[in-house]
Structure 1
Amino acid sequence: MTAALGAFATRDGHAAAVSARGVKQSFRGREILHDVDLVVEPGSFHGLIGPSGAGKTALLKVLYGARRAQAGEVSLLGRAPDGRDCALLARVGVQGAVSAFFSHATVWEHLSTVASLMGASQARAHQFLDQMGLGRLRDWRVELIPVGARRMLVLASAMVHHPEVLFLDEPMADLDTSERADLLDALDEARDEGTTVVCAARLLGELGTLCDAVSVLDEGRVVAVGPASSFVADSNRCLTPQLGRTASHRPRGRIGALDPMPGVLGSRGVLA
């Protein structure tokens, strides 16, 4: 059983919102996480970046308690994460599967029900319906809405109760330009409200404009850690530190031009 880290401090001496030390995890006899260490500052946006198969999703599941690490220590809001800890789960948001819907309900019925179950107000549900661009689909049955809208509903359901920590796994997948802009604005606002975000993705992309810190995973190991502004794609198309560059900040409001997308290479040299 994975133990909690207790008061695992960040550089400034505050308790980490999410932390891991020496985490190992295996699947079908193959080790997919190797001695992973992670410290996520409270209120920060932390990117877990790496190619497919790097262990990002496995690490997320260990961090929010869907799986238990086979070795190591994990702390989530000062407690050992456990999928049966209802008090802790109420403080956390997790981007679930697209299939995890009340599929015969309307978009509004689904989101308002999730809000009620998580202790959020109906006004908050209305806010997210509009903020995530779902207002025009409010009376559609969930099973009939487009794939991108389903993804937005998943994300709205994870964020509607204003979680202290939000876990995202490839949140930009299947979204069009307008939906990505709506999501970035919602995540920007969530961070301003104090939500800690841990987000797994193959590429920094637009998310790099939100990230405070990045951990790069490859073959189950953390191979680099640093501020997002210190990573750029070099001439070999690998993710490497860039020295002397100041962090850039995305202007508030709807996104216009999208930022360059630094890439991450797997061990076979294939762009993820």
Structure 2
Amino acid sequence: MHVLTDADLELAENSLRELFPESLKVYGYLLNINRRKPHNQMVISDAWPDFNVIICKQKQQRSQDREGDFNIYSIYSRDRESLKKLLSSDGALDWSTFTLLGGVDINHIDAVKELCAHQNITSKIEGIMFVLMLEDLSHLKEPESIPGYQIVPLSVEHTDLVNSTWKYGGNQNSYNSVRNYISNYPSWCVMDCSGRPVSWVLLYQHSALGLLYTLPEHRHKGYAKMLISIMAKQLWEMGYPVYCFVEEDNEVSYQLFTSLGFRHKPDYRAVWFQLNERMV
């Protein structure tokens, strides 16, 4: 197991840029780490510089945000045997605690299942995702003037509202994550005349679009398409990849993003895989 230094991280970012879409989640983390965004990540690989696996994991376990609460590992792997070998190495993974492996190549998931069986721990697939990436801006929606509303970035005073509507929100750790996203990464919202957001989109620490939400009474007005388009153009100009994760059974989100030109690799899915039961 090799722990990547600051110099290694710069080189890894350049290498992973050539390996989309499989590398997107890890690449997105490295992009922000290398730009000195706040983080609690250490990055390990199976070898260096000729790596087959790179994993971003928490430095401080159980940090007071969703990433620490869920003990999320972000994984890029070229092949299943290399992934299996790194996860088996000393210090790579704590097999005794709840862990969520994020972005495992579906073609390599059997290797993780074999390790779990060997360790005699419970495990399950939590979600299977399309990795939708935008490489052509021609289908994006042009911004429109909305009488009585503004299109502006979110501010930290909106953290409670975003946290209360987030699928993974509703507690203090998720609140801390949302506040971090708003404070350190791009975000956009449609805001009414009272200063209340009615629709919004944020960016995760791994650079994926997320937390997209429109209040029920404001839906079917094209707000989500417009906000995604604005965010996509901004990220494109910043040199960021423009991508998101959409669960296989989320037809509404899939149709929304593909209508704007997002596409996925036909034989690739990213798996979120749970080790051990989470203690609530």
Per residue, is there more helix in 1 or in 2?
2
Give TM-score, length-normalised by structure 2: 0.31
TM-score, normalised to structure 1, is 0.32
